[in-house]
């Protein structure tokens, strides 16, 4: 834990992850394109950098950005973290969700510069991070994983090492394919129950208390019951992951009929124009296809997550 840590990317996920490190006493300096989004970290003892270049003398730098072009820009673009070969961080850990081929190219360029690179995507949204339930999967040099593992286990509840290269990227994409398929299934059965006369709250309470319930179905229940689509993960980001997953399936000759159908429905949610809401709008699309217009049930629902009030910013 006695490592100097840099952090690039303090969006909804990044700021929550970085806050877990800062609260644990890690010496952390963060940078974000919009500085104000990094400023909540000041309350936990972190520093906010005015430029990415200020992070180059750290033992490890984490990146958490939305797309591969964003990652390329903050690493290799003008003023990027690795733009000056004479001044480089000791190691790099990327928690973004990008394609395997894109990650391999970043790794190649890092290796050319002598900077060990760990691919380390995550499972969970910002509230999961703040409840301490985030999980991480990592691939790359095992020595680097062992060295940063205490940091990873401070960010979340656990980290799994899955091998060399980009295997962690495939694990994360497979995970997000399941995320979409399960949410679409949840939308279908919830609409079926409601059209048959059962309230969404009652149906989902039964589901969550059954063997079919899960941490995920429980924390998605408030959105389904009260139609609160405050974004945790947008349809556009989910579509990106389905594109990546189906591309991997084609490359590996794995048929994915359920994922392919769900991808079309996710595309329909993007096409509806509701791109800034949570991907739980799949429920509304399913209702519309069933001749129904849903209304909020306006009841208190336990999401199953215990968020530390100090992190509820």
What rounded mean pLDDT belongs to the chain?
95
pLDDT, tens digit, 9 for 90 and up, residues 88-146: 999 999 999 888 999 999 999 999 999 999 999 999 888 899 999 999 999 999 999 99
Those residues with Cβ within 8 angstroms of residue 236's Cβ, 6 or more apart along the chain or in another chain: 270, 275
Q: Tell me which of 135, 164, 193 is where a domain ends.
A: 164
Q: Tell me which of 164, 181, 212 is where a domain ends.
A: 164
Q: Which two tokens stand for residue 64?
A: 């958490």
| Whether residue 180 sits in one domain with residue 243 | yes
Residue 306 confidence class, pLDDT cut points 50, 70, 90: confident
Token match 């992951």: residue?
241
| Whether residue 292 sits in one domain with residue 156 | no
| Whether residue 215 sits in one domain with residue 288 | yes
> For the residues 211-232, what does the mean pLDDT come to?
95
| Whether residue 251 sits in one domain with residue 156 | no
> For the residues 212-225, what does the mean pLDDT come to?
96
Per-residue CA distances from 269 to 88, 124, 217 (Å): 42, 21, 20
| Whether residue 192 sits in one domain with residue 100 | no
Domain interval for residue 65: 4-164
| Whether residue 135 sits in one domain with residue 261 | no
Q: Give the C-alpha separation, 260 to 258, whole Å.
A: 5
pLDDT at site 126? 87
| Whether residue 93 sits in one domain with residue 61 | yes
Q: Are 115 and 89 in contact (CB under 8 A)?
A: yes
Residue 1 confidence class, pLDDT cut points 50, 70, 90: low
Q: Give the C-alpha separation, 75 to 144, whole Å.
A: 19
pLDDT at site 274? 96
Residue 116 has what DSSP assignment? -
pLDDT, tens digit, 9 for 90 and up, residues 148-157: 999 999 999 9
**Residue 290 main-chain phi, psi, to 5 deg:** -100, 10
Which of 304 and 42 is assigned the larger pLDDT?
A: 42
pLDDT at site 66? 87
| Whether residue 149 sits in one domain with residue 31 | yes
Q: Give the C-alpha separation, 99 to 244, whole Å.
A: 6
| Whether residue 94 sits in one domain with residue 200 | no
pLDDT, tens digit, 9 for 90 and up, residues 259-287: 999 999 999 999 999 999 999 999 999 99
Q: Tell me which of 143, 164, 185 is where a domain ends.
A: 164
| Whether residue 85 sits in one domain with residue 13 | yes
Number of domains in the chain: 2
- Give the CATH number of the domain where residue 189 resides: 1.10.1040.10
Per-residue CA distances from 234 to 239, 266, 273, 274, 293 (Å): 9, 10, 11, 9, 21
| Whether residue 190 sits in one domain with residue 100 | no
């Amino acid at each position: 834990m006695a490592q100097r840590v840099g952090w690039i990317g303090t969006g909804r996920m990044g700021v929550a992850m970085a806050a877990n490190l800062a609260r644990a006493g890690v010496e952390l300096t963060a940078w974000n394109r919009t500085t104000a989004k990094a400023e909540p970290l000041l309350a936990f003892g972190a520093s906010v950098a005015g430029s990415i270049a200020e992070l180059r003398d750290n033992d490890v730098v984490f990146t958490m950005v939305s797309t591969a072009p964003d990652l390329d820009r903050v690493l290799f673009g003008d003023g990027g973290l690795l733009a000056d070969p004479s001044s480089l961080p000791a190691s790099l850990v990327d928690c973004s969700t990008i394609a395997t081929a894109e990650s391999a190219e970043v790794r190649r360029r890092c290796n050319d510069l002598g900077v060990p690179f760990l691919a380390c995507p995550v499972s969970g949204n910002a509230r999961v991070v703040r409840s301490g339930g985030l999980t991480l999967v990592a691939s790359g040099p095992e020595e680097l994983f062992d060295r940063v593992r205490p940091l990873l286990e401070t960010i979340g509840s656990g980290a799994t090492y899955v091998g060399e290269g980009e295997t962690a990227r495939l694990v994360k994409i497979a995970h997000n394919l399941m995320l979409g398929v399960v949410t679409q299934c949840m939308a279908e059965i919830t609409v079926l129950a409601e059209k048959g006369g059962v309230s969404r709250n009652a149906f989902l309470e039964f589901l969550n208390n059954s063997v079919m319930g899960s941490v995920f179905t429980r924390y998605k229940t408030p959105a389904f019951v009260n139609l609160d689509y405050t974004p945790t993960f947008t349809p556009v980001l989910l579509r990106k992951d389905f594109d990546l997953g189906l591309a991997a399936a084609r490359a590996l000759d794995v048929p994915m009929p359920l994922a392919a159908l769900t991808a079309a429905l996710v595309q329909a949610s993007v096409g509806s124009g509701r791109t800034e809401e949570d991907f739980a709008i799949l429920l509304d699309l399913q209702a519309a296809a069933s001749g129904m217009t849903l209304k909020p049930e306006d009841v208190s629902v336990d999401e199953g997550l215990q968020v530390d009030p100090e992190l509820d910013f």
